[in-house]
Structure 1
Amino acid sequence: MKPNVRRCVACREVAPKTSLWRIVRLYPSQTVQLDGGMGRSAYLCPRADCLQAAQKKNRLGRSLKTQVPSTIYEELWQRLNAKIQVPVVKS
């Protein structure tokens, strides 16, 4: 069985769905949220350069066909910073 893969809207790389962030425009309310929900989705690599390009060039907004609130970008930056600060434990 093939793994589910999606394409990052910023760098256009294909990666497993579980390794990308999912941003959703909910149906029918047209609100944008992270992770869950049913509606139009866009995927983004959890990397600073992809997040910066998506924000600067409005790639998420174009992909979702709606305006993405700044709170979504703020939460993504917080997730990225939390991911970077987690120490790696080697066994």
Structure 2
Amino acid sequence: MQPNYRRCVACRQAAPKETFWRVVRDYSSHQVQLDRGMGRSAYLCRNAECLKAAQKKNRLGRSLKAAVPEEIYQLLQQRLPGK
């Protein structure tokens, strides 16, 4: 069975979705959250360069069509390998 591929909003690399962080704007509450919920999703590579680029250029916000709280970026920063 083929894996589900997704694309990073920062570097545009396509890979199986398990290799990315998933950021979701919930369809009912319009809250931006990590890893769970149904609604518009954006995917981000699990490395510091993509996280920095996504934050600097507001790639997650544009992809989700919603403002991304600073807490989301802080949580992703904590999840970086080696932290």
Q: Given the two structures, how large is their TM-score scaled by the length of structure 1?
A: 0.89
Structure 1 CA distance for aligned equivalents of residues 19 and 49 of structure 2: 16
**Residue 32 (structure 2) pairs with residue 39 (structure 1):** no
Matches of residues 10-49 of structure 1 in structure 2 within 5 Å? 10-49=10-49
Structure 1 residues 12-59: Cα deviation after superposition (integer angstroms, max 9, x where no partner): 000110010000000111000000110000000001100000000000
Alignment partner of 1:65 is 2:65: yes
- The offset of 1:2, in angstroms, is 1.1
- The CA RMSD over aligned residues, in Å, is 0.7
* Aligned residue in 1 for 2:82: 84
What is the alpha-carbon distance in structure 2 between the residues aligned to residue 79 and residue 59 of structure 1? Answer: 19
Structure 2 unaligned blocks of 5 or more: none
- Whose RCO is larger (CA < 8 A, sep 6+)? 2
Moved over 6 A (4+): none
Q: Percent identity?
A: 67
Aligned residue pairs, count: 83
Aligned equivalents of 2:45, 2:18: Cα separation in 1: 10
Query: C-alpha separation between the residues in 2 aligned to 1:3 and 1:46?
Result: 18
TM-score by length of 2: 0.97
1:7 is matched by which residue type in structure 2? Answer: R
More helix by share: 1
Say which structure is richer in strand. 2
